[in-house]
Structure 1
Amino acid sequence: YGAIMNLQIEKSSFGDFWIEDDAIYLYTSEQMVDFIKDHLIRINQLTVSFEKIDEHPKQVFKTKEISLVVASERADALVAALTHSSRSDAKDLIRKGYVQVNHIELEEPDKICNNGSVISIRGTGRFTFLGFSRKTRTGRIVAEFLQNI
């Protein structure tokens, strides 16, 4: 992440990325492909090269299923539950650009997440929202997630 930011690229110009044994996958706009290929050539002491691929590679994760009680269906409520923090702290994470939904930075805390949405929270992890399973006696909602481990 630091090497990308060092190129002084706007955060909105690229999405999520992940690292595998011999590859780095980075979601970016069509306009940024050549710039990244030409300028992102070193990460720390390693020489790297990028190439454009047309297929979305399948990322395989080890996961565990978790259930959390949430106050509502809004993204800030889900983020608060996933980070074990207050809803106002979750809104701060969203405002700072630390939360992505489906590899795109979340800008509105009142967004409703769909089943299957991938929620990435910097410093916390990546989760797939499976949906709501039931309501508690007090009317709160139990949300089901797959957590990447």
Structure 2
Amino acid sequence: MSREHLLHGLAQVLPDLYAAECASKVRSFLTQLFADANAGKPLMHEYYTNYFDLYWDLHLGATGEAIPAEVRQIGAGFTAVLGYWYPTLDIVRENIMRVRELRPSLLLRTVWTGGIEFIALDVDQPEELPVAPRTVIDDNIGFRRAKSVES
């Protein structure tokens, strides 16, 4: 599949949004991926090395140092788990445990920087959701943005 074919396919999904917000970022990613310096090198390594920059740039406009190290480590952990898949392999267990270790700091950072407050919702019959082994909770917790304090 050529670079132009890939870009054309993406543009067909949401043409207005893609043209306005995504095209230049995806084009830069693909230009970097297919740079002459990468010719003859393993392509997927280069892809995954730079994928999270593209992902966070598209979603939050964050690139480079603005992406917390924990986010990159969590992404690498998920990639390893999905790639190796078999739960009995040490590498899968190690990456699952690393993601679990990093998850609280990522959540706390998001809550802090986003001004998020958690609230109990008045839901008549909340859906029950499994959230961990042997743990099911009612889906009745929501959030709101904290009112900004003006000085």
- Fold shared, TM-score > 0.5 on shorter chain: no
Q: So what's the TM-score if we normalise by structure 1? A: 0.22
Q: Which has the larger radius of gyration?
A: 2
Q: Greater relative contact order (Cα 8 A, min sep 6): structure 1 or 2?
A: 1
Of Structure 1 and Structure 2, the greater strand share is in 1
Larger proportion of helix: 2
TM-score (structure 2 length as normaliser): 0.21
